[in-house]
């Protein structure tokens, strides 16, 4: 099984299946055999097949688990805490790993793909970024997270790519669990709510005419509040680490250029995660 390709195909199929909204609008229709299968259950079955990859990997990893050793990975650390925490069990372990894979793999890859396209279009920014990388890190080793504080332009580039690409612009839907009041607006229990991160990142006039220092805080690509992205901070900022190291390693070593007479297509595919279209670009070793 190829997790990356199968998962990619799965979200592509979801995007091409407008009938999936039937489950939201009229959930009782999902009980009908044909309608239920095409609107929801075939997607669920495909997702289960993809999840089998995670199940096998977790099981393989657990075979090497030794309770008294220092945990060397998330699965071992989780297993070690299981006896002292009633909320932790094997099913939850697999679900958590599955969440990390599903939520973490496509998002960072897609952001880096957008970064390549934006930097191919903006050679000035790309050169400036490369100059910073070469002056702080040099050419003989890769960037480390300990370099990050000295690399302000690289940090700004990652944030700006995230803002412009806005890959989860639709965000995830949440539901109020009790009556709530926000700035005088009453929101009853059980209301669906959506943090409109797309609006914040695409329309905030501060991004057009920056006059404040807090633009970094206004890039809310990982959403807001308690249920914001788990990859942003809680798992050692995994998403931020991947974006920073992935982007700087690429630009340190390669110049990205558009191909002659082939304009770069920045129109995203209409999917839940906004992905760029497959296309060719030119890459030169620096
Ligand atoms: C560029 C990369 C990423 C972006 C833009 C991104 C964005 C998001 C967004 C917008 C949400 C919805 C938050 C909400 O419901 O308000 C989310 C949730 C989540 N993300 Fe990420 N994410 C990224 C990478 C990752 C990585 C690397 C991981 C973990 C390995 C991860 C794990 C999760 C999980 C587990 C959730 C669900 C959190 C919950 O419901 O409590 N994400 N992400």
Contact 223, 172 (CB under 8 A): yes
Residue with the smallest CA separation from ligand 1 atom 41 is 227
Residue 254 CA to residue 231 CA, distance in Å, equals: 27
CATH of domain 104-286: 1.10.630.10
Q: What residue has token string 């920056």?
A: 210
Over residues 102-156, the pLDDT tens digits come to: 888 889 999 999 999 999 999 999 999 999 999 999 999 999 999 999 999 999 9
Residue with the smallest CA separation from ligand 1 atom 13 is 228
Structure tokens, 268: 């995203």
Over residues 239-284, the pLDDT tens digits come to: 999 999 999 999 999 999 999 999 999 999 888 789 999 999 999 9
Over residues 10-56, the pLDDT tens digits come to: 888 888 888 888 877 888 888 888 889 988 899 999 989 988 999 99
Instruction: Measure 107 CA to ligand 1 centroid, in angstroms.
Output: 8
CA atoms within 13 A on the CB side of 165: 29
Over residues 167-198, the pLDDT tens digits come to: 998 899 999 999 999 999 999 999 999 999 99
- The separation between CA 30 and the C-alpha centre of its own chain, rounded to angstroms, equals 30
235 phi/psi in degrees, rounded to 5: -95, 70
Instruction: Measure 77 CA to ligand 1 centroid, in angstroms.
Output: 21
Cα torsion for 97, 103, 104, 109, to the nearest 10°? 140
95 phi/psi in degrees, rounded to 5: -60, -40
Mutate to test the pocket of ligand 1, among 222, 227, 237, 273 (most ligand atoms within 8 A of CB): 222
Q: Is the pLDDT of residue 209 over 80?
A: no
Domain edges within the chain: 1-88, 104-286
Mutate to test the pocket of ligand 1, among 7, 92, 97, 103 (most ligand atoms within 8 A of CB): 103
How far apart, in Å, do the first and last CA atoms of the chain sit? 35
């Amino acid at each position: 099984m190829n997790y990356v390709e199968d998962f990619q195909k799965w979200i592509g199929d979801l995007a091409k299946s407008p009938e999936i909204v039937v489950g939201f609008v009229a959930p009782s229709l999902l009980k009908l055999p044909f309608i239920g299968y095409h609107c929801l259950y075939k997607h669920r079955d495909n997702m289960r097949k993809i999840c089998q990859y995670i199940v096998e990997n977790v099981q393989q990893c657990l075979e090497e688990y030794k309770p008294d050793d220092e945990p060397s990975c998330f699965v071992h650390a989780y297993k070690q805490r299981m006896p002292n925490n009633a909320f932790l069990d094997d099913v939850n372990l697999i679900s958590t790993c599955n969440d990390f894979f599903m939520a973490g793999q496509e998002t960072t890859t897609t952001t880096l793909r957008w970064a390549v396209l934006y930097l191919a279009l903006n050679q000035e920014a790309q050169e400036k970024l490369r100059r910073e990388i070469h002056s702080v890190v040099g050419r003989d080793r890769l960037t480390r997270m300990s370099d990050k504080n000295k690399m302000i332009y690289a940090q700004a580039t990652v944030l700006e790519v995230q803002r412009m690409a806005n890959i989860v612009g639709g965000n995830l839907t949440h539901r109020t669990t009790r009556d709530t009041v926000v700035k005088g607006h009453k929101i009853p229990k059980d209301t669906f709510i959506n943090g409109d991160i797309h609006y914040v990142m695409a329309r905030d006039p501060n991004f057009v005419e920056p006059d404040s220092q807090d633009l970094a805080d206004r890039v809310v690509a990982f959403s807001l509040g308690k249920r914001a992205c788990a990859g942003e901070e809680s798992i050692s900022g995994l998403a931020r680490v991947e974006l920073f190291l992935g982007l700087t390693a690429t630009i340190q070593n390669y110049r990205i250029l558009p191909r002659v007479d082939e304009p770069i297509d920045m129109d995203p595919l209409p999917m839940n995660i906004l992905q760029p279209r497959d296309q060719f670009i030119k890459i030169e070793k620096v």
